[in-house]
Amino acid sequence: MKKIVIGILAHVDAGKTTLSESMLYLSGQIRQLGRVDHQDTFLDYDKQERHRGITIFSKQAMFPWKDTQFVLIDTPGHVDFSAEMERTLHILDYAIIVVNGMDGIQSHSETIWHLLEHYHIPTFIFMNKMDQTTYSREYLFQELTEKYHENCLDFSMPVTQLYENLALVNETLLEEYMDYQVIDLGHIQECIMKRQIFPVFFGSALKNEGVGAFLDLLDTYTIEPTYKDSLDGFVYKVSHDEHGNRLTHIKITGGTLHVKEKIHDEKIDQIRLYEGPKYTLLQEAKAGDVVALKGLKSFLPGMTLTNQTFTQPVMMPYMTYRVVLSPHCDQHQMLKNLQTLAQEDPTLHVTYMSQTQDIYIQLMGEIQIEVLQNIIRERFHEEVSFDHGEILYKETLSEPVEGVGHFEPLRHYGEVHVLLEPLAQGSGLVYESQCTTDQLPLQYQRLIMTHCQEIEHPGVLTGASITDIKISLIAGKVHQKHTEGGDLREATYRAIRHGLKRGKSILLEPYYDIHIHIPKDALSRVLYDMEKRHTKVRIEEQIDSIDLYGEGPVTCLQDYQQEVIALTKGKGRMICHMKGYFPCHNQEDIIKQKGYDSETDQAHPTGSVFCQHGAGFYVAWDEVEQYMHIPYQYTKNKNTHHTYHDAPQYQNEDEELDAIFQKTYGPIKRRLADDYYRQHQPQETSMSVKMKPECLLVDGYNVIHSWPELKDLASTNLGVARDRLIDILSNYQGYKQCLMIIVFDAYKVKQNLGSQEKHHNVYVVYTKEAQTADMYIERVTHQLASDYRVVVATSDALEQSIVIGRGARRMSSRELALEVKAVTEEHFHEFQRKQPQNHEFLLEDVKDYHK
């Protein structure tokens, strides 16, 4: 009998737990069907799960079906517990996605699909609640092929038709079908295993309709994995039983594990095989078994038995919350309790800020906050709350740098040199020793590498954790008599901090990958919002709608989903997925807001300790190189690739470039200040190109609502704001000497014929009835483009795209404001410079002599 580990995944309320219940009932593992709304299901036995009617923790059950022994893993469906769901993916042989036939594919269902793609897990699809849906099978199936994969195939159709559809998957199946009119079962199983085919089945889990046939499908088309002979296993979960015993949940991925066996000096006391809340004690666990081990203390989710390194998850919290304790609560004890919970869920990332003496924790959302509060109340008998969350930032480097840490109080000694190199986005932290045993004995190298990984090292900009950096040990020095283990720990921490201070750090913020589906008439507003929210999008036009795809900062897009629904009156939708961490769009503002000072952070010092005249003394980070005992080992390579630059970086050969320019264009002539403001008449030759005059077209009301000063004024009196804008631009035109036309919408005024007037040196146009400012600007742009260099000032992204096609140059309202401010200040300073100074008057120095 083959053994298959299969996981059930779904959007919340899709019927995932109900399908699990139905499978267990049909296989004879439970005698009575439970229901989520009756709070009596076999797998949702936790108090909070039954109360809320959702799955919070992953559970395990086993059942046989024909020739297969299934190990069923039920996972949480709510987005707040995505990290718990993701941890189970590492142990799955196959996955079942349950889709709610009443609602179709939801946003979280798409997130799950992307995760299964990331981990390359073969997938079956069960379309549930077909007894209640108003959609046809054809409509739901088409949605699967459009949003999931074109090779989603309905396996409930007649065999002949199924073979015809299978033949279209690849050339091998097509040739086989053309030759024999059938397709071998093994070839279908192989395609499913390689994620080339995704079987689909329709049914109703609540009424047991189609579930038995679906189990037949799983039994027929699954293949048992091949396992290695040597012992190994993957830790996917850590929990505690009712007696407080720590349990390490693993899948054995090779060999056989026995009770009392030691792993990394930790002895296994029990091997438990769980089925729901109950378990059976085993003497051994073989490859393919999913068991819980009692006795292991150091293993965390994401580790393997042979290699205690983490597998970085895709789903990570991007919000951090400060823990608010009750007055009588012991902060030190609560920190230990939260760290215990962080062993069960490493994504909590419990940290203690020594500068503010606050505890911070990373969470996914409001439901997880409430669940965590209940867990703390039940397990530790304490009441806690959380303040308003903040965006979780991270830091990285833009170029390689060497850091030095030295720790030498009296009778102690240790010096460590590390090389910090930026990695590609999403790489996390990578560690490596490039030091030879001739430079530093192997046991000391291993100790230093352990110290590099044992804590989260904060950055120097805001104190946020660092990421996407490779930390390499390149040199070190110990003293045969005075070096102790703690000395190298201090030297390692200080070396990393010293490198971060010496290098160029970049603040990173989380970005969403977004998909916005809207009616066509909402495009202009959404594009305008996207520009304001620093989000780049690309547009795909459908028959009667628009799809926008792009990425932008989470901090700018957090609440936009509700705005899309309100803007489109429920016709639009927005789907967000975490894309990763990218350079912060307002780095300086965030650094100033955080107010972090790396040099006063006593818990993470940036300097080193040296010894002189029998006493240790502190040396600041920027003076360490004057005292260090080993010279710098890293020589900067001129061709070093910098990971986080927005554009390619090129080597600056200033002298060579100057020589080329001087040879081509003659020597560089330095111009005096007056030259910059004097009108020059270029001498025309037969080869000269005459520059067209400039014309600036301004979308008046768009600018008014984009400039804060005018926007506030318009809320009180729009006419005053309009006059103020005309005066500002009239003054600006006096400096620029260009043709300027300011256009205002008047298309809603009945029987309006439109008007045009000249105010001082600018033209002011009011459009006629049924003519918008956009329409007027498009027409005039086309007319003037042959004679003028036309520039259109508007923040309407759709209008910007149109005028570019008309041969004009675009300028946003914000750019116009900056341009006006810069030109005005520039000419004002020049005016002041040309005014005579007081001390140049006769007898200026002796005017107060009589006093």
Instruction: Give the tens place of pLDDT for each residue, 729-742.
Output: 888 888 888 889 99
Q: Count CB neighbours of 595 within 10 A.
A: 9
Mean pLDDT of the region 65-85: 87
So what's the pLDDT on residue 109? 84
So what's the pLDDT on residue 258? 92
Q: How far is CA 539 from the centre of its chain?
A: 22
DSSP string, 359-373: EEEEES-HHHHHHHH
Please state, in angstroms and rounded to a whole number, the distance separating the CA atoms of residues 621 and 597: 14
So what's the pLDDT on residue 843? 46
Work out the pLDDT band at 561, boundaries 50, 70, 90: confident
Mean pLDDT of the region 684-710: 77
So what's the pLDDT on residue 667? 58
Query: Residue 197: is its pLDDT beyond 70?
Result: yes
pLDDT digits 0-9 by tens, 160-175: 888 888 988 888 888 8
Query: Residue 681: is its pLDDT beyond 80?
Result: no
Q: Count CB neighbours of 593 within 10 A.
A: 11
Per the CB < 8 A criterion, the answer to whether 111 and 137 are in contact is no
3-state DSSP assignment of residue 588: helix
So what's the pLDDT on residue 72? 92
So what's the pLDDT on residue 628? 92
Please state, in angstroms and rounded to a whole number, the distance separating the CA atoms of residues 761 and 730: 6
So what's the pLDDT on residue 645? 44
Per the CB < 8 A criterion, the answer to whether 554 and 511 are in contact is yes
Most confident of 210-219, 320-329, 350-359, 631-640: 210-219
> CA angle, corner 75, sides to 218 and 97, nearest 5?
45
Beta strands in 463-556 (DSSP E): 469-477, 505-519, 536-541, 545-553
Please state, in angstroms and rounded to a whole number, the distance separating the CA atoms of residues 68 and 1: 5
> CA angle, corner 345, sides to 341 and 349, nearest 5?
80
Work out the pLDDT band at 467, boundaries 50, 70, 90: very high
> CA angle, corner 448, sides to 445 and 451, nearest 5?
155
Place of tokens 């008599």: 481
Mean pLDDT of the region 680-705: 70
Mean pLDDT of the region 789-803: 80
169: Cβ contacts below 8 Å, ≥ 6 apart: 151, 191, 196, 197
Which helix (H) or strand (E) is 849 found in, with range? Answer: none
pLDDT digits 0-9 by tens, 107-145: 788 888 888 998 999 999 999 989 888 888 888 998 898
Query: Residue 647: is its pLDDT beyond 50?
Result: no
308: Cβ contacts below 8 Å, ≥ 6 apart: 264, 298, 299
**Mean pLDDT, the chain, whole residue set:** 84
Work out the pLDDT band at 56, boundaries 50, 70, 90: confident
Most confident of 231-245, 746-760, 798-812: 231-245
Domains and CATH numbers, the chain: 2-221 (3.40.50.300), 232-294 (2.40.30.10), 319-392 (3.30.70.870), 395-503+593-626 (3.30.230.10), 507-585 (3.30.70.240), 694-832 (3.40.50)
So what's the pLDDT on residue 192? 93
So what's the pLDDT on residue 423? 92
Place of tokens 């992204």: 797
Residue 325, beta-bridge partner list = 384
Query: Residue 566: is its pLDDT beyond 60?
Result: yes
So what's the pLDDT on residue 4? 93
Residue 71, beta-bridge partner list = 5, 62
Residue 15: phi and psi, rounded to 5, are 100, 25
So what's the pLDDT on residue 808? 80
% of the chain with per-residue pLDDT over 90:
27
Mean pLDDT of the region 813-820: 87
473: Cβ contacts below 8 Å, ≥ 6 apart: 416, 417, 418, 432, 433, 434, 435, 440, 445, 448, 449, 452
Place of tokens 């203390």: 297
Query: Residue 453: is its pLDDT beyond 70?
Result: yes
Query: Residue 256: is its pLDDT beyond 50?
Result: yes
Query: Residue 343: is its pLDDT beyond 50?
Result: yes
So what's the pLDDT on residue 748? 66
Burial class (CB in 10 A: 0-12, 13-18, 19+), 311: middle
Query: Residue 675: is its pLDDT beyond 90?
Result: no
So what's the pLDDT on residue 311? 66
Query: Residue 50: is its pLDDT beyond 80?
Result: no
Top-confidence residue, 688 or 549: 549
pLDDT digits 0-9 by tens, 481-500: 888 878 999 999 999 999 99
Please state, in angstroms and rounded to a whole number, the distance separating the CA atoms of residues 567 and 111: 25
